[in-house]
Structure 1
Amino acid sequence: MLMKCVDIFKSFKVGRRKVEVLKGCSIAVDESETVVLFGESGCGKTTLARVILMLVKPDTGKVLFKGREVKPTREFRRRVQYIPQNPNEALNPRWRIYDSIAEPLRVHSLVETRKEEFDAVAAIAEKVGLKEEHLHRKPSELSGGELQRAVIARALILEPEFIVCDEPTSMLDVSVQAAILRMLMDIQRKTGVSYLFITHDLGLAMAIADRMYVMNGGRVIRELRREELQGLSTESLIRCELPRA
């Protein structure tokens, strides 16, 4: 198993109260697999993802990557990437898109010359459908779909093995959503990267999931394979109701 979290508990202080957000959550993602973490807003999906990414430390429980307990090392940060819902979270508004995409290469010292850097950025930009002219613009000069492609390029340039996609198409028009999803699935076929998709959109989940975990009230309440998703509604999933035969 590539990525696994076991019995994760997490609470936050809200004023004088302690609010338990995650209550014993366990999920796993295998190599070259697309797993969907599904649930309504406020159920704990994003918090669980942040724990997996080691952006938030769990109260108890373990996160394992390739069978080893995760520590937030530089190597882990390289192998595991994040695509946020809002691309502006990942892009410096003052930088050219080129520099935002190239920054991970610089941070991890993966290129030695400007030509190597340019060639790497140009190659990944072409892979995600960005033109060279886009690279010289700032985020405010791109459309929503172009921005999300830039964020995806920034994540992919490190050749990660695992990417958490936190509702990466929810802010886009339907036609642009479909194009971005097709691109991500094509990249997975070519590279073998694994995805954890966070969404409350059941239609999207049915379209991309190899497996799906359903969350409700801070708990993972069920796990479903792709073939088990047809005919289900959001209500039946949250209530753990199966369709009648």
Structure 2
Amino acid sequence: MGALLTFETRRIVRSPRFFIFTVVFPLAMFLALSAVNGEQDTDAVTFLMVSMAAFGAVAASVSTGSRVAIERQVGWNRQLRLTPLSGPGYLVSKVVTAMLVALPGMLLVFAAGALLEHVNLSAGTWTQLIVFCWLGVLPTAVLGLLIGLLATGDSAQAMSTVLMLALSMLGGLWLPLSSLPPAMTIVAKALPSYWLAEFGHDVLAGNAPSAQGVTTMAAWIVAAGGLVALRYRRDSARA
């Protein structure tokens, strides 16, 4: 599993599209929107930094599912079943890979906040911010894998893009919920993307992650993970 994890991570990171859409794009959005807020509004820039880091993490973790669909189409996963790698090991490696590739974009936005936008946080706060936001990627990583197991090679990219846009827009990563209709708040709080960013905002406020957020994230992991296991078993049975 370690060898597969290393191989998968290197392959994805070498992709130009990975850097454009999951690293460069969130960074560019952060710098552009923070320029609109201006240097005077430090709290708004810090809030935006967390939201754009969450957006980059969601985009990166969800997009890895398209590669799973392509692998299924060409029969690569059937070849892997002939190796000592177990089914659970294969699925776990895909989820861990998605979480790892979510880190560069997230860290780059945080670095830009510190170096270019003068976001001043203590070392302990930066550490907590990175850890909590990174752990919050787990549900979207599982969702990305689910798309890869459900979609075809031709449709996976479109499905991943739609999911990423829905999670970002409805989860309040692009616009603050205060500027949206009240009903959107209910929708946002049911999504893992909202709580991914909210975990970071809680760290900035000096608060622990809310019980509602942890429960919602766990529910998404269990539900999506169950569907992933079911779909993988069906794929294995057809092989």
Which TM class, normalised by the smaller chain length? Answer: under 0.3
Greater helix fraction, Structure 1 or Structure 2: 2
Q: Give the TM-score normalised by structure 1.
A: 0.27
